[in-house]
Amino acid sequence: MLTKNELERYDRQIIIKGIGEKGQEKLKRAKVFIAGVGGLGCPISIYLATAGVGTIRLVDRDRVELSNLNRQVLHGNEDIGKRKGDSAVEKLKNLNQWVKVEAIAETITEDNVSQLVDGFDLIVDAMDNLPTRYLLNKAAIDKKIPLFHGAVYGFEGRAMTTIPGKTACLWCVYQGRVTQGKFPVIGVAPAVIGCLQATEVIKYIVGIGELLTNCLLIYDGLNLEFTKLAVKRDPNCQHCGHLVQ
């Protein structure tokens, strides 16, 4: 049930066709796991918290550095040196005191990923490296919960939604290729991609619209083009190949 204050706070989205009070209650009940509180994790958590997603878990072990501030918009000058999760929780609580936001200061590993995502309805990939994305992909497949992928590079970005056993997963698409190291980013790129991921999460929870599945969305900020590349499940995929279609 929504309180009188919640009905008022979310009024403009409750009147969207397909959301209504029922959809808002679904958002309130939802438990969203966000891996990373960096360039992508900041806008994702801001817009999920303000939309009224009831429970949000943020996982990030890093501390805020000066060089993060061009893109990680939850953190400011006074946060340098703080854990990113703690800095984020403080700001998100101020944005919406009625949602439960918690931060865990851990590095996501093969050993802890299953436990970290346990009890959550979906996983948002707001990471900056492919090896950890694969851990999240596998965890999503093991738990049979969706994964919302996003990545950025310079003025570019990409996004994809995965429903385990039904649509192409990250391994189906990337097939293990890993590039490492410092990469360029301007803050508007993760802002665009993070908002697309948050949009997908909201649609999935409420159960409206078409999801970005079996499709890799490529965003080119310099030419301002969005391209959808069709992708397919690989029946021999190392991660999801064992799940029956």
Rounded to a whole number of angstroms, the CA Rg of the chain reads 17
Pick between residue 148 and residue 171 the one whose CB is nearest to Zn ion.
Answer: 171
According to the binding rule CB under 5 A, does residue 174 interact with Zn ion?
Answer: no
The reply to whether 171 sits near Zn ion by the rule CB under 5 A is yes
Contact between 240 and Zn ion (CB under 5 A)? yes
Q: Does 169 bind Zn ion (CB under 5 A)?
A: yes
Whichever of 26 and 233 has its CB closer to Zn ion, that residue is: 233
**Candidate segments 48-56, 74-82, 109-117, 235-243, binder of Zn ion by CB under 5 A:** 235-243
User: Does 163 contact Zn ion by CB under 5 A?
Assistant: no
Q: Taking Cα atoms as reference points, which of 189, 112, 198 lies closest to residue 151?
A: 189
Please state, in angstroms and as integers, the Cα–Cα distance from residue 37 to each residue in 80, 92, 173, 244, following that order.
Answer: 14, 12, 24, 34
CB of 133 to Zn ion, least distance (A): 13
**136 is a contact residue toward Zn ion (CB under 5 A):** no
Position 172 contacts Zn ion (CB under 5 A): yes
Question: Which residue lies nearer to Zn ion by CB, 75 or 239?
Answer: 239
> Using an 8 Å Cβ cutoff, are 161 and 137 in contact?
no
Report the C-alpha gap between 21 and 16 in whole angstroms.
Answer: 10
- Neighbouring residues of 224: CB distance < 8 A, sequence distance ≥ 6: none
Instruction: Give the Cβ contact number of residue 85 at 10 Å.
Output: 25
The answer to whether 239 contacts Zn ion (rule: CB under 5 A) is yes
Interacting residues toward Zn ion by CB under 5 A? 169, 171-172, 237, 239-240
